[in-house]
Amino acid sequence: MDAREILQQGLRRQNLSLDEQQCDQLIQFVGQLKKWNSVYNLTAVRDELNMVSRHLLDSLTVAPFVQAFSAIADLGSGGGLPGIPLAIAFPQKKFSLLDSNSKKTRFLVHAAATLGLRNVSVVHQRIEDFSPENKFDCLVARAFAAPQKIMQMAGHLCSEEASLVLMVGHLDGLDLSNGNGFYWHSTTRVDVYNEPSIRHVVVFARRGQR
């Protein structure tokens, strides 16, 4: 199978419906990621087909968990994961991609412009130092840091009714206790097409969302 076939199979497995333009954007994003990766070292995944499963489809596992929100911050976005695939899937929502690495944010600016993603803004700043004009109602992080650390670093970015959506692997040894105004809400195992490794989405809610 080629990249598009893997993407379409995965979307069906994950019960996600995207139009042809969105699928084109996702495939184009993988092409940009692969091209820039050779110089900027954005990801350890080098193969385009693996990028579709491990990056695109993996990022989209959180789609059901963010669909109720309108202003979403992707913390430690790196190569734009999960922020750019989510921004493609939800063009009506606003996404802010945060990263302190200038090479990575340079790629993010390029990717958003190339893909025509007007709902994406890129922030080159440490999470702790960022002061958004408006608070976010959802924070998302993929393999970025331990839950407790993220709560402490990013609590000031979101409203009192926000949710924190974390993409993690195995749960063994993972501290899911409450912290900094966040309360554990749910843990859901998710499956990614063509990927055998274990994945979970953990959601913490602030007081107003418990």
Number of domains the chain is built from: 1
- Structure-model confidence comparison of residues 1 and 185, the more confident one: 185
Q: What is the percent of the chain where pLDDT is above 70?
A: 99
Residue 143 clears pLDDT 80, i.e. is over it = no
- Structure-model confidence comparison of residues 194 and 26, the more confident one: 26
pLDDT (0 to 100) of residue 163: 97
Residue 208 clears pLDDT 80, i.e. is over it = no
In this prediction the pTM is: 0.96
Residue 56 clears pLDDT 70, i.e. is over it = yes
Q: How confident is the model at residue 38 (pLDDT cuts 50, 70, 90)?
A: confident
pLDDT (0 to 100) of residue 51: 86
pLDDT (0 to 100) of residue 167: 97
Residue 191 sits in which domain range?
3-209
Q: What does the pLDDT look like over 11-35, one tens digit per residue?
A: 999 999 999 999 999 999 999 999 8
| 3 state SS for the chain | CCHHHHHHHHHHHCCCCCCHHHHHHHHHHHHHHHHHHHHHCCCCCCCHHHHHHHHHHHHHHHHHHHCCCCEEEEECCCCCCCHHHHHHHCCCCEEEEEECCHHHHHHHHHHHHHHCCCCEEEEECCHHHCCCCCCEEEEEEECCCCHHHHHHHHHHHEEEEEEEEEEECCCCCCCCCCECCEEEEEEEEEEECCEEEEEEEEEEEEHHHC
Q: What is the CATH number of the domain that holds 147?
A: 3.40.50.150
Q: What does the pLDDT look like over 85-137, one tens digit per residue?
A: 999 999 999 999 999 999 999 999 999 999 999 999 999 999 999 999 999 99
Q: What does the pLDDT look like over 67-84, one tens digit per residue?
A: 999 999 999 999 999 999
